[in-house]
């Protein structure tokens, strides 16, 4: 059976091999998982549509005094299991359709982790590189004002995404708090720790990738101290995953950035290679031999973890992948066509919806800390993340063992069954 459920990539609106938009991909995923379950068709029909999409005009006064009116969106897909949750991006390709597709995808991500949250996504159509710091602040504050009626710690909780960061969330939180007349840190996550952000949030997606690599290798009887791993991308996700796996005894034999990859079959000193945060795009700077990113994807390793961008394993190169196992660290690195080829070749692909879900999980921890006004230590965050990831892995593994489906389909089935159950219990309003 074809897996048929690759995730909507977040770097581009469409999969170049299928020309599918994020919304079309999200609907295909929904229908594919629904076909495996005996669900009320009315619930499935409901889930094909967002609950609400808010489109706003956001006037921006530029530093030169001129005013531009930009367009922003907030798509709220489903909140049957808890408040809407998802990022706000500043990107020239933001569109209503993309926001709806990615909001739907957030619904499955929070559900697969069994977090009491739903799915949302939003953003402003703008190239963030054209914004000065003061323009960025004014734009964020005005956007917070425009979204005031539909966001809040009990209704919809945004987070950073492409083109936005902890400082953006700090301004958003401040603007919302001023409007409310009380400091409301729980309205957004991904804030700096000084104002209610969580320790361990930045490292969480990479940490979850490492945990899922470890669990998957246990499942396939691959001992950690004998494991070779290749990781594409050495940013927040890739570097954190690489360093954790290295500290657990694995050999990280290749890592890369946009300029190329470094490779050493006996294992790289990953602590000494600068991550994207430490020194951008410097992975290959002091390397004697550099290989291309495409070559990294085709190395003969136990585990390949693409942690850079979407759509890197395609119908063209999936046949050349020699890894025994692929774990998706980035969002949507394996295209729909590649997914089918890898499945036919018997190469398991552990999906992004599970592997990089450490980010939204620690966002949930941040929200808990904010509404309880009680900070957790980094140790506690990491311990709770470990528990949540292993629990989610075990739940997906049970679906995988029970049904003749791919890991991706198993994860979507689990997520959809949880969301559908919530709808069934609460009842659909005709």
Positions annotated as catalytic residues are: 121
Q: Does 191 bind ligand NAD (CB under 6 A)?
A: no
Strand partners, 326: 304, 349
What is the number of residues in the chain? 430
- Cα angle value 405/411/417 (rounded, 5°): 100
296 vs 347 by CB, closer to ligand NAD = 296
Please state whether beta strands 260-263 and 290-291 pair in parallel, antiparallel, or not at all (unpaired). Answer: antiparallel
Give the residue at shortest CB distance from ligand NAD: 235
Strands in 243-351 per DSSP E: 251-257, 260-263, 290-291, 303-306, 325-327, 349-350
Q: Does 330 bind ligand NAD (CB under 6 A)?
A: yes
72, 123, 205, 351: which one binds ligand NAD (CB under 6 A): 205
Q: Does 208 bind ligand NAD (CB under 6 A)?
A: no
Find the Cα–Cα–Cα–Cα dihedral 392, 393, 395, 397, rounded to 10°. 160
Strand partners, 334: 313
Q: Does 123 bind ligand NAD (CB under 6 A)?
A: no
Number of residues that bind ligand NAD (CB under 6 A): 24
For residue 58, give the 3-state DSSP assignment. strand
Sheet arrangement for strand 251-257: 290-291, 260-263, 251-257, 228-232, 303-306, 325-327, 349-350
5, 293, 369, 417: which one binds ligand NAD (CB under 6 A): 293
Binding mask 254-273 for ligand NAD (x = CB under 6 A): --xxx---------------
196 vs 306 by CB, closer to ligand NAD = 306
| Smallest separation (angstroms) from ligand NAD to the CB of 351 | 12
How far is 131 from 151, CA to CA, in rounded Å? 24
Binding mask 226-245 for ligand NAD (x = CB under 6 A): ------xxxxxxx-------
Q: Does 287 bind ligand NAD (CB under 6 A)?
A: no
Q: Does 276 bind ligand NAD (CB under 6 A)?
A: yes
281, 294, 384, 386: which one binds ligand NAD (CB under 6 A): 281
Residues making contact with ligand NAD (CB under 6 A): 10, 205, 232-238, 256-258, 276, 281, 293, 307-310, 329-331, 356, 359
């Amino acid at each position: 059976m074809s897996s048929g459920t690759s995730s909507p990539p977040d770097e581009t609106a469409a999969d170049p091999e299928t020309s599918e938009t994020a919304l079309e991909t999200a609907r295909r995923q929904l229908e594919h998982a629904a076909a495996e379950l005996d669900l009320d068709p009315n619930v499935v029909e409901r889930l094909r549509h967002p609950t609400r999409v808010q489109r706003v005009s956001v006037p921006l006064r530029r530093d030169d005094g001129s005013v531009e009116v930009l367009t922003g969106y907030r798509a709220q897909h489903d909140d049957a299991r808890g408040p809407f949750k998802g990022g706000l991006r500043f990107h020239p390709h933001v569109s209503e359709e993309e926001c709806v597709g990615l909001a739907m995808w957030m619904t499955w991500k929070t559900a697969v982790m069994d977090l009491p949250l739903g799915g949302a996504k939003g953003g402003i159509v703008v190239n963030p590189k054209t914004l000065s710091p003061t323009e960025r602040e004014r734009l964020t504050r005005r956007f917070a004002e425009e979204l005031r009626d539909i966001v809040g710690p009990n209704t919809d909780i945004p987070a950073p995404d492409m083109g936005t960061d902890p400082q953006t969330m700090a301004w958003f939180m401040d603007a919302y708090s001023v409007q409310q007349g009380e400091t409301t840190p729980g309205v957004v996550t991904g804030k700096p720790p000084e104002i209610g952000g969580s320790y361990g949030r930045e490292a969480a997606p990479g940490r979850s990738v490492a945990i899922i690599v470890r669990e998957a290798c246990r499942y396939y009887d691959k001992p950690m101290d004998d494991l070779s791993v290749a990781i594409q991308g050495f940013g927040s996700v890739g570097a954190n995953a690489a360093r954790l796996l290295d500290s657990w005894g694995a050999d990280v034999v290749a890592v890369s950035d946009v300029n190329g990859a470094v490779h050493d079959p006996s294992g790289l000193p990953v602590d000494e290679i600068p991550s994207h945060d430490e020194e951008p795009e410097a992975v290959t700077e002091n390397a004697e031999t550099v290989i291309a990113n495409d070559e990294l994807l085709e190395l003969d390793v136990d585990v390949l973890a693409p942690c850079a961008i979407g759509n890197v394993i395609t119908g063209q190169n999936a046949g050349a992948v020699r890894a025994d196992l692929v774990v998706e660290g980035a969002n949507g690195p394996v295209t729909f066509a590649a997914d089918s080829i890898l499945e036919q070749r018997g190469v398991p692909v552990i999906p992004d919806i599970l592997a990089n879900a450490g980010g939204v999980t620690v966002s949930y921890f941040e929200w808990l800390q904010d509404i309880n006004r009680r900070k957790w230590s980094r140790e506690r965050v990491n311990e709770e993340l470990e528990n949540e990831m292993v629990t989610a892995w075990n739940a997906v593994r049970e679906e995988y063992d029970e049904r003749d489906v791919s890991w991706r389909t198993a994860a979507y089935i689990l997520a959809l069954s949880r969301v559908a159950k919530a709808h069934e219990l609460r009842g659909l309003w005709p």
